[in-house]
A and B are shown apart, each in its own frame.
Chain A
Amino acid sequence: MRERIMQFVFLLCACFSVAAVLLICLFLFANGLPAIQEIGLWDFLSGTQWKPSGNIYGIFPMIVGSLYVTAGAILTGVPIGILTAVFFVKYCPQKLYRVMKPAVNLLAGIPSIIYGFFGLMVLVPGVQKVFGTSGKGILTASLLLGIMILPTVINTAESALRAVPASYYEGALALGATREQSIIRVMLPAAGSGILSGVVLGIGRAVGETMAVVMIAGNQAVVPNSILSGVRTMTANIVLEMAYAAQLHRGALIATAVVLFVFILLINLSFSAIKKGRTI
């Protein structure tokens, strides 16, 4: 009997998060779809102008913006992350590891608004000095997001590398490969799917990041024409204008959230697909 009660309690807790997801879906689609219908799906997704005051709602620049910034974050964050993981697994002395590992984990715990301040105070003036622009834009946002996804990439890549059987590495060494060769040619490919799932998680974080990006991206709702021009991501679009929005404008912002939600959904699906196909 007692076991039954506890079983029920566990079930209830498990249902709670599922219910939360369903309610969020319901809210998003119920509020967002009417606006999409009113604007027209194609006009909404492919429109290059966002002018709420003129009742023009096209989020193409924001979709492009999210993609650019995320791609930039992957370009800066992933190589550094993977190489850090290699260092942790194969080269790092125990003493150093005990300092560096918590430091990486701390990086994951820093609130994003603090990243934003860091970006505004350090990265923006830096980019401004080097390139002579206002300093806010794709490059700055990519650099900052690259730092923000580091812990995700490092931790998943590290555990993937540790899961590679020692015989792979030793076998490569025994065949006459150098350490570097056996790591890059044997271990990294063997841990490939694990590392890739870390990258996908990182993409998820970068796409969804809001507070830090809104402070340093410039937020122009136009399709960017260079790596230095300002950019508005979908998350930034929502958070910038939600406070003052009314009627169709508000609906269009929620519809932006629907598109973002679909993006995240796709990312999660590909994450589970990678996980399913992984060999180690």
Chain B
Amino acid sequence: MRKKWVMSISIWITVLFLCSCSAANGNIVVVTREDGSGTRAAMTELLGFQGREDITPYAEVVNTNAVMLFSIAGCDTAIGYVSAGAMSDDVQSLSIDGVPPSPENIRSGDYPLKRSFHLIVEEETSELADAFIAFTASPIGKELISGAGYVPPERESAYAPEAQAGKLILAGSTSVAPLIETLADAYTEQNPGVYIEVQQIGSSAGIASVQDGICDIGLSSRDLTGEERSDGLKEITVAYDGIAIIVNKSNPIRDLSLGQVRQIFRGEITDWQAWRQ
């Protein structure tokens, strides 16, 4: 009686293992960011997903750029996406329609997966905030932005250090924050009286903080919604970022078309074999 039990359970487990094993070989492992992430929102928008269309629910979900890079680096058959500024050498970025995600291609718009980083402010801003926003579009600021791997904005402004003092709180997107921290460090060096605090709480939370008056400037990697705009918020583009499609270094594929990327993330192509013929 007991032996029968053990037998049947072990047979069951073996069958389960075998099924999943044979189905899995060579399969594309799609890795995505969590719902609500600015990078994911930009990705689905840039891929042209409409209405109910979404990234396949069978995709693995990670909630930071770092874990994304780690997951891709650790799995031969994985594909994912990450902010171009957060790229690392542990993974391989793909060209889209033959165009690699270089800063030049992102600026010119030849690389199709391009999004904007915004500073979110209310209609009325403090002098302190104005000065920092001007700094981000000054020649020094633009140089810092390019240096960090992003593309500086078109707007230009003159900037000179002033004898200001006070505290600025910036809060929002985890994708935008590293760039802003670089800018803030340079800014406070030139304006020792100003103290800048950068909080990484996510785009939506950052926008809500501006509305609630908890922070001076919000950081967002997505555009404002109509509702948020009608609440009296406005966005100022601080930089452009490409979204790099990344695969494991052992993957021989270096180039995909936008349509293929779309199909992979929709879950319509599930096997790398499709390219290996």
Task: Judge whether A214 and B63 touch: CB under 8 Å.
Answer: yes
Q: Confirm or deny: B275 has a beta carbon within 8 angstroms of a beta carbon on chain A.
A: no
Interface residue count on the A side (C-beta < 8 Å): 37
Binds A, one of B50-58, B141-149, B187-195: B50-58
Task: Judge whether A132 and B202 touch: CB under 8 Å.
Answer: no
Binds A, one of B19-27, B94-102, B131-139, B158-166: B19-27
Q: Which residue of A lies closest to B228 (CB)?
A: A246
Chain B stretch 247-261: residues in CB contact (< 8 A) with chain A: none
Q: Quick one: which of B19, B29, B71, B204 contacts A244, CB cutoff 8 A?
A: B204
Task: Judge whether A52 and B36 touch: CB under 8 Å.
Answer: yes
Q: Confirm or deny: A159 has a beta carbon within 8 angstroms of a beta carbon on chain B.
A: no
Question: 1/0 per residue B154-189: CB within 8 Å of A?
Answer: 000000000000000000001000000000000000
* B-side interface mostly: mixed
Q: Confirm or deny: A245 has a beta carbon within 8 angstroms of a beta carbon on chain B.
A: yes
Q: Confirm or deny: A81 has a beta carbon within 8 angstroms of a beta carbon on chain B.
A: no
Task: Judge whether A243 and B21 touch: CB under 8 Å.
Answer: no
Task: Judge whether A135 and B205 touch: CB under 8 Å.
Answer: no
Task: Judge whether B70 and A218 touch: CB under 8 Å.
Answer: no
Task: Judge whether B58 and A220 touch: CB under 8 Å.
Answer: yes
Task: Judge whether A128 and B35 touch: CB under 8 Å.
Answer: no
Q: Quick one: which of A49, A50, A134, A244 contacts B75, CB cutoff 8 A?
A: A134
Task: Judge whether A52 and B75 touch: CB under 8 Å.
Answer: no
Q: Quick one: which of A53, A132, A221, A243 contacts B61, CB cutoff 8 A?
A: A221
In the assembly, what is the distance between CA of A220 and CA of B62, in Å?
Answer: 9
Q: Confirm or deny: B78 has a beta carbon within 8 angstroms of a beta carbon on chain A.
A: yes
Residues of chain B lying within 8 A (CB to CB) of residue A222: 57-58
In the assembly, what is the distance between CA of A125 and CA of B34, in Å?
Answer: 23
Q: Confirm or deny: B5 has a beta carbon within 8 angstroms of a beta carbon on chain A.
A: no
Residues of chain B lying within 8 A (CB to CB) of residue A219: 34, 60-62
Task: Judge whether B52 and A241 touch: CB under 8 Å.
Answer: no
Task: Judge whether A226 and B204 touch: CB under 8 Å.
Answer: no
Chain A stretch 6-54: residues in CB contact (< 8 A) with chain B: 49-54
Q: Quick one: which of B17, B67, B78 contacts A131, CB cutoff 8 A?
A: B17
Task: Judge whether B17 and A230 touch: CB under 8 Å.
Answer: no
Q: Which residue of B lies closest to A134 (CB)?
A: B29
Question: 1/0 per residue B60-76: CB within 8 Å of A?
Answer: 11110001001100110
A68 to chain B, nearest CB (A): 12
In the assembly, what is the distance between CA of A230 and CA of B61, in Å?
Answer: 9
Q: Quick one: which of A49, A125, A240, A245 contacts B57, CB cutoff 8 A?
A: A49
Residues of chain B lying within 8 A (CB to CB) of residue A221: 57, 61
Q: Quick one: which of B13, B20, B41, B74 contacts A124, CB cutoff 8 A?
A: B74
Q: Quick one: which of A53, A215, A226, A229 contacts B67, CB cutoff 8 A?
A: A215
In the assembly, what is the distance between CA of A98 and CA of B52, in Å?
Answer: 60
Question: 1/0 per residue A113-137: CB within 8 Å of B?
Answer: 0000000100011001001111110
Residues of chain A lying within 8 A (CB to CB) of residue B57: 49-51, 220-222
A110 to chain B, nearest CB (A): 20
B271 to chain A, nearest CB (A): 13
Q: Quick one: which of B23, B61, B75, B204 contacts A245, CB cutoff 8 A?
A: B204
A214-B63, A240-B63 known; A135 and B74 CB under 8 Å?
yes
A51-B54, A131-B20, A227-B16 known; A244 and B203 CB under 8 Å?
yes
Chain A stretch 185-229: residues in CB contact (< 8 A) with chain B: 214-215, 218-222, 226-229
Question: 1/0 per residue A228-245: CB within 8 Å of B?
Answer: 111010000001110111
Q: Which residue of A lies closest to B227 (CB)?
A: A247
Residues of chain B lying within 8 A (CB to CB) of residue A124: 74
In the assembly, what is the distance between CA of A245 and CA of B202, in Å?
Answer: 9
Task: Judge whether A240 and B74 touch: CB under 8 Å.
Answer: no
- Can you list 10 pairs linking A and B with CB atoms under 8 Å apart? A51-B57, A128-B74, A133-B24, A220-B57, A220-B61, A226-B20, A230-B60, A240-B63, A243-B174, A246-B204
Which B residues contact A (CB, under 8 angstroms)? 13, 16-17, 19-21, 23-25, 27, 29, 34-38, 41, 44, 52, 54, 57-63, 67, 70-71, 74-75, 77-78, 174, 201-205, 208
* Closest A-B pairs by Cβ, 8 of them: A244-B36, A226-B20, A219-B61, A134-B29, A228-B20, A243-B202, A244-B202, A133-B24
Known pairs A50-B35, A53-B44, A244-B35; list 4 more (Cβ under 8 Å): A226-B20, A226-B23, A227-B13, A227-B16
